[in-house]
Amino acid sequence: MSNPIRVVLADDHGLVRAGIRSLLAGFSGIEVVGEAADGQGAIDRVVESSPDVLLIDIAMQGMNGLTATAEIKRDHPAVRVVVLSMHADAEYVIQALKAGAVGYLIKDAAPVELELALQAVMRGENWLSPSVSRQVVDGYVARLNGDGPAQDALTARQREILRRLAEGQGAKEIAFDLGISAKTVESHRAQIMERLGIHDVPGLTRYAIRTGLVSADKE
C-alpha cells in the first residue's frame, strides 16, 4: 500500500500497549496514530486522528471495548475495528461482531497474525483468529444472511442507504438527499456490504427485495 495503515491502539494495560506498539513498529506500512486506556479514550482518539483501524481490548476500566466499538461503528463507520482479547469463547466473539467489529484477534496469537489481520480488514475482509470456533461464527454469519434478522446488524441510516441503493440511486444523489457527503455514503455502503457479507450492489438489491425493504418491481 502507498499510504500507511493508520492505527489507534486501546488497552488499559500500559505494558501491553507498549508491546503491541513495538510490534506494530516492526511492520512495514503501519503507523500508530493514537493510544487510549479505555473505551471513551478510544472514541476520542478516533475523532482526533481518523484512523483506518482501531485495535481495542474488550475488558477495560470505565467504558468497555464492546460499547466503544458500537459507538464508533455508529458514528465513524469507515473505521475498521479489530478486537484484541484473551478470550476465544464464542460468546465474546459474537458480541464483538454484533457490536460492529470486523476482526477478532486472540492476544496469544503469533505476531504475524496481527499483521495479516490488519492487511485483511483493509481489503474489506473479516479476520478471526483460527482458535475461534468456526462453527459458532459460521452460524452467526448464516443468521446475518437470512431473511430477516440480518437487518438487525444495520443501523437505521444504513437501512435507509441500502433502500436507496436498491432503488437505483447513486452515492451523490443519496448524499444530496440525506445532507451528507458522498464519501460518507460510500463508507456506509462498504460497512453494509461487510455486515451482510454481500459485495456488490446487485446482491444488495436482491437482499433488499428479499427482506421487504423495497418492492420486487425494483429488481
Domain membership of residue 138 (yes or no) is no
* Residue 219: inside a domain: no
Assigned domain for 189 exists = yes
**In this structure, is residue 124 part of a structural domain?**
yes
78 and 127 in a single domain? The answer is: yes
In a domain, 137, yes or no: no
Give the tens place of pLDDT for each residue, 3-47.
899 999 999 999 999 999 999 999 989 999 999 999 999 999 999
Residues 128 and 162 in one domain: no
Angle at which helices 134-144 and 90-99 cross, to 10°: 30
Residue labelled with grid coordinates 459474537: 94
Domain-located, residue 139: no
96/165 same-domain check: no
CB within 8 Å of 72: residues ≥ 6 apart: 42, 43, 46, 54, 79, 81, 100
The verdict on 173 and 116 lying in the same domain is no
Specify whether 13 is located in the same domain as 92.
yes
Number of domains in the chain: 2
- Phi/psi of residue 129, nearest 5 degrees: -55, 140
Grid-cell match 478486537, residue found: 83
- Which CATH number covers residue 203? 1.10.10.10
Q: What CATH number is attached to the domain comprising 26? A: 3.40.50.2300
d(CA 180, CA 167): 18
pLDDT digits (tens, 9 = 90+) for 48-88: 999 999 999 998 888 889 999 999 999 999 999 999 998 87
Instruction: Tell whether 39 and 125 lie within a shared domain.
Output: yes
Answer yes or no: do 107 and 23 share one domain. Answer: yes
Q: Which long-range contacts (CB under 8 A, 24 or more apart) does 183-191 make?
A: 185/161, 187/77, 187/78, 188/77, 188/157, 188/158, 188/161, 189/161, 189/165, 190/77, 190/78, 190/124, 191/73, 191/77, 191/78, 191/100, 191/158
pTM of the complete model: 0.62
Name the residue range of residue 37's domain: 5-132
What gap in Å lies between CA 192 and CA 186, rounded to an integer? 10
End-of-domain residue from the set 99, 132, 165 = 132
**Residue from 197, 200, 124 nearest 166 by CA:** 200
Please compute the mean of the pLDDT values over residues 119-135 and round it to a whole number. 80
In the prediction, which pLDDT does 139 show? Answer: 57
Each residue's pLDDT tens digit, 142-164: 555 554 444 456 788 888 999 99
Same domain for 154 and 200, yes or no, is yes
In a domain, 118, yes or no: yes
